[in-house]
Amino acid sequence: MAGDGLPETLVTSDVALAGAILRRGGLVAFPTETVYGLGANALDDRAVAAVFAAKGRPRFNPLITHVASEAAARKLAEFPPAAAQLAKALWPGPLTLVLKRKAGCPVSLLASAGLASIAIRVPAHPLALALIAAAGVALVAPSANRSGAISPTTPEHVLAGLGGRIDAVLEGGAARVGVESTVVSCLDDEAVILRPGGLERARLEAVLGRKLGQAQTGPRTLLSPGQLESHYAPAAPLRLEATSVAPGEALLAFGPDVPAHAGAMENLSATGNLDEAAANLFAALHRLDALHPAAIAVMPVPEAGLGEAINDRLRRAAAPRPEPRPHAIDGP
């Protein structure tokens, strides 16, 4: 188990071994199509508590439960019509649904922060699905990083943040999507986006045939991961909507027209492609932050398509970092 004196975190491609670690209550980081998740047995209170401890995570922040199929999800949660439509059309995929827990749902209440709801998804990554099968249980899996830090899109990112704190990392290369799942609440059959993510609003609305609601801002009960005001943050402060670069700043650029700059720079997409920018976002922030700049100047990114999710992450990364208020969702 993590914290039981393991000399280092095991890096492995052995799915059966990783599944065995999870069955005995250990912690395994694994790839999903969005980012790497920190997996634990969702039915084991101690294992779920170990996730919070490894991440240094506020315990009121719900975790996403990962299952292998819609049928498995229906054993845990109630599916109103809107949720059924979305699940049928978009699972497996980067979509998390917040639903009412079924009576007798065996998932740890700690994973739901004591709420009557559950955040659940079916990942679209063959290794993630194989790991769930090997473990034989649903897995809670927030992003595999220290709480509030930049999300990990490679095994190296996981080890940099959680090495020695968890039992193993299941290798799976770089995450394809690069930002976390879109989170949609369907608690009253009124579908509301709680967190923009790897599935575009337009695609969700096309499935439902109507506009999605938007979560209210300000103090609230957190129903899903990723709702904390300050989240996904590098050590260096971010300066958004930058059109120039100050001395000592690194530059997170977007598009072909980049301001003159002699220092460190990462371009999310030199061609202005938002899909490419989303995939590169967290890795680029990791690389710039490792250089310890005075700040990171961030060029404007359009709000269209996946730009909504990119800008959501950038705004949260740039937000002030007070102690979080009770009640957000974190997960891949």
Tens-place pLDDT, residues 5-30: 444 899 999 999 999 999 999 999 99
Reported as type and span, the H/E element at residue 283 is helix 274-289
Q: Are 294 and 248 within 8 A, CB to CB?
A: yes
Q: What is the pLDDT of residue 65?
A: 98
Task: Report pTM.
Answer: 0.81
Residue whose entry in the numeric block shows the structure tokens 């999870």: 22
For residue 221, is pLDDT > 70? Answer: no
**For the chain, which residues make up each domain, given as ranges?**
238-318
What are the φ and ψ backbone dihedral angles of 10, each rounded to 5 degrees?
Answer: -75, 130
Q: What class has domain 238-318?
A: alpha beta
- Tell me how far apart the alpha carbons of residues 184 and 205 are, in angstroms, rounded to a whole number: 11
> Stretch 70-92: mean pLDDT, rounded?
97
Over residues 257-275, the pLDDT tens digits come to 999 888 999 999 999 998 8
| pLDDT greater than 50 at residue 219 | no
Q: Cβ–Cβ contacts within 10 Å for residue 126, how many?
A: 13
Give me the torsion for CA of 17, 54, 38, 321, rounded to 10°: -170
Over 60: is that where the pLDDT of 312 sits? yes
CB 131 within 8 A of CB 27: no
